[in-house]
Structure 1
Amino acid sequence: MGTLRSAAAWGGALWALLLATLGCSAGQPLGGEPTCTAQPLAKYSITFTGKWSQASFPKQYPMFRPPAQWSSLLGAAHSPDYSLWRKGQYVSNGLRDFAERGEAWALMREMEAAGEKLQSVHGVFSGPAVPSGTGQTSAEFEAHSRHSLFATVPQDTVTEITASSPSHPANSFYYPRLKSLPPIATVTLARLPQSPRAFPPAPGLGGGGNEVADSLPAPETPLDCEVSLWSSWGLCAGPCGQPGAKSRTRYVRARPANHGAPCPGLEEEAPCVPDNCV
């Protein structure tokens, strides 16, 4: 099973990728017939929770054109010989279109083709997009109940997705006061009871899968004031032959938020002696 979700960011787009594999037993031969069709299928729910808010990431938070948002949830239950993406390898054209533009049709055709030719994809599932930076979307799917991932982790699993901690002040996720950044999203994987009447709704969702919930609480991340470098000193002003003063200025690059450090002075003066008297 692979899932991918994307978010529009300031000055462009921030795309993030989550990939996991679910399928038949590890001993299944590559390209062979699935060995787990005779075993009962287990039903699972996957819930993506976006936590990208102005309170959690106030620096350069995208408000419009485009605002902070997450794309639709798309994944597949498949055998071990198939993957949507592998680390260190180029992505397919369909996955590239989904990550860069949020268009899922080419990726869905690729998964369907793998299911028809290789018998590797056993089912495709999807969930609606989240139109803001915070909210939830979920989907339900079936996979082999004896998969090693669920045999070792019987209870619900929650995976946090965090942005990298950049070292440059111009980056939107540069928060030097924080030892670690808060999660930008979480993915919850849960096994559902076999009875269709006993399916619990995903956390935060009123009616179960394939829904979107907004206005989730988010932690407040302090943002310190950021100022530019000082300008060069101006001309020395004052009466000829007497001590004068010169000044330099700087401007605010980012205003403080969530109880961050206030802005320092934006103007500075220094004594001088006029060197050009008229």
Structure 2
Amino acid sequence: MGKSILGLDIGGTGIKGGVLIDGHLEDIRSIPTPALESKEFILETIAEFIQSYEIHDLLGIGVGIPGLVETESGVVVGLSNIPSFQHVELKKFLTERFGLPVFVNNDANCFAIGVHKFGVGRPFKNLVGITLGTGTGGGIVINGHLYSGVNSAAGEWCSAPYLDKNYEYYCSGKFFQNFFSSKPKALAKRAHSGDPEAIRAFEEFGTHLGELLKMILYSLAPEAIVLGGSIRKSYPLFKKSMYRSLETFAYPTVLENLKILISELDETAIHGAVALVDVEEDLVRVL
């Protein structure tokens, strides 16, 4: 097989991987995350998963993590949904085990660079990626390069105060669970069938999301904002109210030039993980 890059998406419930070969993502597979086990056990599980890809001639490994990461050292600062995975020298562990370049970053940052390199964000030098799922995450691409900030915390608008909670409380699956006692997918099905309450749920969600996007516009004024995550699939249900909320943005010319796009990639986290691998310094250029 040809030279390839391995991308890993490590989450609280599953570890997913795929290899980029000649610009195409292949051999996608996943295993459960042993989230309640020790740090050492989890590291060995990750290593065994990587070993299952030994058929490929790997150039490097990129890893996306749902938490804060010291990107230069590759130390995972902490993960709320994997209790033992705190201050983990993941890059050092994997580099020593496999002898390959390893890059680790926050999964929302991976989403942003993934859609820029491989998805609808390719035409834009400056964009923001927002993931709408169980939680809300954000990533920033400036002049074609991922901007991670200290401990990969750039773009974490989800934690900023909003109303009585924060933006994540109102702009993720938590909103539907807390206010409508239902998951977004079930509500979307009801909304498409004409259920008034479900329709109202997505209208309210769109209003809150519009407020989040306005904050992003005030802070960065990007060319494009790309929406990802499972809730993006219900975009027609909240698009109108989202734009209605955006209409109150103070600078119309900025809004007129903004592109709001929906990610078409179902494996954006893995695409983003492989995009982390900087092969210019020590390896041939493949991205």
Question: Is TM-score (shorter-chain normalized) higher than 0.5?
Answer: no
Task: Give TM-score scaled by structure 2 length.
Answer: 0.27
Task: Give TM-score scaled by structure 1 length.
Answer: 0.28
* Structure label with greater radius of gyration: 1
Higher helix residue share: 2
